[in-house]
Amino acid sequence: MPHLAIYRKYRPATFEDLLGQETIVKILKEEAKQDRLSHAYIFSGPRGTGKTTSARLIAKIANCEKRASDQKFREKGEPCNDCATCRAIDEGKALDVIEIDGASNRGVDEIRNLKESIRTSPSASRFKVYIIDEAHMLTKDAWNALLKTLEEPPAYVVIVLATTEIEKVPATISSRAQKFYFKLVPREKIVQKLARIAKEEDIKISPEALDLIADYAEGSFRDSESLLDQMVSFDDKTVDVEEIEKAVGKISFDKIDAFAEMLVKGDVSGALAFVAEVADGGFNLSQFLRDVIQHLRRILVLRVSPQMEEVFKKEMMAEHLAKLIAQSKNLKPAHIALLKTLINAYGEMRYSQFPRIPLEVAIVEGLEKIKS
């Protein structure tokens, strides 16, 4: 039996499982309770935040057999996940739930075929649900063809467009659909879910490693779950920080913190030696500096606005935040100039054949100003 990817195995089966999108969940559940689904939705937002999953939940809500026959259950606003239709949708076998990849089926011919298909009543369910992923990739002619369908959709049709670039969806289309923006998921929620998955799968992983995966994912559940899956072999279900660092080229908080400490103290020799170690280790120097800039930015913000501690509690581990608070007390006005210098170096590094040089120059210049 083929291995089932973690992100597929732990895909949310109900709206309540859809973490980090509380407002969207509240609205869609209320629509489900009242049996008042819209004929068209546009789900936009970053990758891996639950857009396609929500589209499939809409398909299950529309066609769940238990909801259709049990008024009391319908008031929960969730699919049963147990009837034949719900199971068929989960397995990708439902004939009346049609998923289209807008990136590879972006032409007018595909949308015309969709129009022809829409005219046909559902074969086995109450509704036909069309899910168009990467919808922003559709051509102008395809949008025009789709518009005619959205203007006068049959009562048995629900269309869901999922996109990472809402600005590319024509206004004539977006004005005819309910629009929902899926935000990046808070780091703490990603860590919580990863910890639960690790427990279920009997994966031995430290809080530091979980934090590094969540940090790498940058608000995407799917990216975090895919990386965790990548790090787990069938013979050894142990994941440590060093393995993750090597796999993704991203350095852990503790090492970034150690480097930032050198910068705050004005330790030029130590900072340059650290950069050499990072470069020799094969890590991406641009990514490294990006993380350092983010670290220093948080220290600066805490220095001038201590109440921001409450905001950062949602973004990082308590012990990490404690280290930032301690470092912020040693910050001087000259460190602001250092941060600006590093930001300029980051811009130069992205286009330089020798990315190490702008970083080293920025360290020397910035720390010399702090000493003087």
| Residue-by-residue pLDDT tens, the chain, 372 positions | 456 788 889 999 999 999 999 999 999 999 999 999 999 999 999 999 999 999 999 999 999 999 999 999 999 999 999 999 999 999 989 999 999 888 776 666 777 777 788 888 998 899 999 999 999 988 888 888 888 888 888 899 999 999 999 999 999 999 999 999 999 998 889 999 999 999 999 999 999 999 999 999 988 999 999 999 999 865 578 888 988 998 888 899 999 999 999 999 999 999 999 999 999 988 989 999 999 999 999 999 999 999 999 989 888 888 999 999 999 998 888 889 999 999 999 999 988 888 899 999 999 998 887 766
pTM: predicted TM-score of the whole model, two decimal places: 0.83
CB 201 within 8 A of CB 10: no
- Name 366's Cβ contacts closer than 8 Å, sequence gap at least 6: 263, 337, 338, 341, 342
Domain 253-371 coded CATH 1.20.272.10 = yes
Find out whether 34 and 172 touch, Cβ atoms under 8 Å.
no
Architecture of domain 187-248: Orthogonal Bundle (1.10)
As its CATH architecture, domain 6-181 has: 3-Layer(aba) Sandwich (3.40)
Q: Would you list the domain boundaries of the chain?
A: 6-181, 187-248, 253-371
Measured CA distances, 117 to 29, 95, 98 (Å): 28, 12, 10
Short-list 33, 95, 82, 26, CA closest to 54: 26
What is the Cα gyration radius of the chain? Answer: 25
